[in-house]
Amino acid sequence: MNKTRRITAVILTLVIIFTAFTTSTFAAGTQINDQTEYLESVREIIRQKYNGQIPEEEMEKATTLKGIFDTLDDYSEFMTSEEFDTFVSSLSGSIEGIGIQPAILDKDKYATVIKVFRNTPAWEAGILTGDQIAEVDGESVEGQPAEDVTNRIQGIPGTRVKLGLIRQGLKDLVRVEVTRAEIDIPSVHYEIRGDIGYIQIDLFGENTYSGVDEALGYFDEKNITRVVLDLRNNGGGYVDQAVKVARRFVPEGLITTLDYKDEGVKDETYYSSLKKPKYKLAVLVNEYSASASEILTGAVKDTKAGVVVGTKTFGKAKVQTFTPILSFEAFESLNRDNEIKSADASNFIYMIDDTQLAGWGKMTTGLYYTPNGDCIDLKGIEPNVKVTAQEPAGSSVQVNLMEPLSLTVKPNLGAKYFDVYIAEHILKLLKYEVDEPDMILDNKTVQAIKKFQKDNKVYSYGVLDYCTQKLLNDRLAAMKVVKDPVYSKAAQLIK
């Protein structure tokens, strides 16, 4: 990624915004002999841009870039170029890898594949949920964090990675060689529940609006006019994506205003031009709905475009921006003849390349406001109708967050797969006798599966076959309607 290009995308409550880059004016100056001026120039960037109480004494004492930014609020930090790339990639809607999600479960020594994305290289190579990753390119990854294993697997599309997998029932490692690719990770999930179109948005990434547009197109084909938009646990993302989604539901008028401290940055206002809303809308929120998701929620509530259901949102109206920071060497070179010296790489954009960056400073630079002019920072948005989601009896997870079984393996007694963990949760919710859900298909779960199979008039033999998995998925889908009180109330309100 060329990190010094002009970026105008607004992100998280946050925002990634870079002002117009201009070359500096050269004048007589002095040689820079130490980092005193360099660090002071970074502090001056903060004084100019940061919207908040600046702890001057602490900031003056800090002698590293990370230390300086760490004196600010919880949302401000210094990122290396690698950390910045990782952060932006997390919101891009795609990754360069093979299409798996590893995690360390049950204090295992190896990362376990808990999800294989469909139609990806990993899917085509036959990698299964429950496989444990023992080797990457011939080297053991025993005891390594899942994040480190993931980083070793990811790479440039077209290159290959060799994995050694521990698979239940097999004595030897399963060895696969997979070609990396650009993997699209959807942030939007949708389905039709009766006569309601349900859309869940995980975060506002680069592909979020296209996912919502696809969902609404599908609903239109099926003559669906009632929509539930689930923003629970959505921590934010690109503001422009939240605005684009809002424009499909919010009537003509203001959506949000972004107000910046730096007088050199123009405040921004976003509007909808929708003449007549098409859908009867309910928005689901909870205490983890934050930032960009609150922009959408606030616009819906203030304009009465729909009803907001759930619990009070997180309350983050702070706007963050990224500023590229020169390395000390580049600062010394580019400022040698400057009267006013700056570490802001934006001022030298036409003279530098990526190697001259120390990294990126992320800091709070403004606030956003709802259409009614409210700043919900530290206050959150109260729903129109308050409903608290309770964990269903017998389950340690909220039913609306549960994913269906993958239909990729048929576990039997003693097998260890992530699908077993999901199946045990569903069986427990259905009041069948199983122990605390884990990934191991023990005898008690086998007996519960036998009873479930018998109750559903299919062959009762205790194997978690595809027919049984489909039946469990059907029961899960039904429970997401009746055992999710927030969704149930929303569905009633938009009848």
Quick: pLDDT tens for 286-321: 999 999 999 999 999 999 999 999 999 999 999 888
Residues 236/208, Cβ–Cβ less than 8 Å: no
User: Tokens for 468?
Assistant: 């049984």
Question: Tell me, what's the pLDDT at 165?
Answer: 96
As a whole number of angstroms, the distance between CA 481 and CA 232 comes to 15
Question: What CA–CA distance (Å, rounded) separates 313 from 232?
Answer: 9
Q: In terms of domains, do 193 and 216 share one?
A: yes
In a domain, 164, yes or no: yes
Below-70 pLDDT ranges, the chain = 1-33, 106, 390-397
Q: The domain spanning residue 206 has which CATH number?
A: 3.90.226.10
Q: How far apart are CA 417 and CA 378, in angstroms?
A: 41
Same domain as 130, residue 69? no
- Domain assignment of residue 125, yes or no: yes
Q: Is 22 helix (H, G, I), strand (E, B) or coil?
A: coil
Q: How many domains does the chain have?
A: 4
What's the confidence (pLDDT) of residue 284?
Answer: 97
Q: In this predicted structure, what is the pLDDT of residue 354?
A: 85
Helix, strand or coil, per DSSP, at residue 460: coil
Q: Which domain holds residue 480?
A: 399-493
The single residue listed with the structure tokens 């427990």 is 428
Q: Residue 149: give its domain's CATH number.
A: 2.30.42.10
Instruction: Compute φ and ψ for 75, nearest 5 degrees.
Output: -95, 0
Domain boundary among 386, 419, 438: 386
Helix, coil or strand: residue 401:
helix
Per-residue 3-state assignment (H helix, E strand, C coil) for 141-186: CCCCCHHHHHHHHCCCCCCEEEEEEECCCCCCCEEEEEECEEEECC
Asked if 149 and 111 touch (Cβ cutoff 8 Å), the reply is yes
Name the 3-class secondary structure at 472. Answer: helix
> Model-level pTM?
0.79
**27 within some domain:** no
Residue-wise pLDDT tens digits, 477-488: 999 888 889 999
What is the rounded distance in angstroms from the CA atom of residue 145 to the CA atom of residue 163?
Answer: 16
Q: Are residues 152 and 222 in the same domain?
A: no
